[in-house]
Amino acid sequence: MLCAGEWAFFYRVYAFDGGVNVDHTQVPQDNSHTYGGHKKLLYATDAQGDYIGVTSSGWEAETLATDSALEVLAQQQELAWQRARRGETSPLEYYMVYRRMDLSLLAQTSGLFRWRIRRHFRPAIYARLPEKILQRYAEALGIDIQALKNLVQKP
């Protein structure tokens, strides 16, 4: 028996046949490289119409979407590195993108306002930041202060 809150989850299950329910025999097994050899638990219906957990080794459409998103992230990382290398932005922006963060997430993890972080993207201001602020960024990004002060040679 499902509780009221669990129904919303089950209605969001991907319907591969265009309906609300997915038959357990229709759960894709496309051996996606994005799963890294792991399997994902999906919910499908059995012959009696009851929901059961079925493992999936991947789905081609999901793999394409994941690969596309990873390409975009790599492009963003490369552009941020080039801007920082040219001195148009501080290394902080590159490391933020490298850690797959956006401005809001960095603000939450560092405890600084977004407008202050945007201001710290300016190289002249970033160069004068006190160690205390750099330490907050280093902890939020999971790197040491020396790495944060210097841009890596080539990502």
One domain for residues 74 and 143 = yes
Same domain, 39 and 76: no
What sections of the chain are H helices per DSSP? 4-11, 60-86, 91-98, 103-110, 114-120, 123-127, 131-141, 145-149
Q: Do strands 51-56 and 40-45 pair parallel, antiparallel, or not at all (unpaired)? A: antiparallel
| Residue 76 in tokens | 């963003």
Residue 48's domain comprises: 4-58
Weakest-pLDDT range from 31-35, 100-104, 119-123: 31-35
Q: Is the pLDDT of residue 15 over 50?
A: no
H/E element, 53 = strand 51-56
Given a cut of 90, is residue 75 above it in pLDDT? yes
What is the number of domains present in the chain?
2
- CA 122 vs CA 42, 75, 96: distances in Å: 45, 21, 14
Predicted pLDDT at 155: 63
Q: Looking at the predicted structure, is the pLDDT value of residue 106 above 50?
A: yes
> Looking at the structure, do residues 75 and 145 belong to the same domain, yes or no?
yes
- Mean pLDDT for 40-46 is 88
Give yes or no: residues 53 and 81 share one domain: no
Residue 18 has pLDDT above 70, yes or no: no
- pLDDT over threshold 50, residue 69: yes
* CA proximity to 93, closest of 124, 125, 68, 118: 118
Both 54 and 71 in one domain: the answer is no
Task: CATH number of the domain at 117, please.
Answer: 1.10.260
**DSSP structure class, residue 111:** T
CA distance 30 to 87: 45
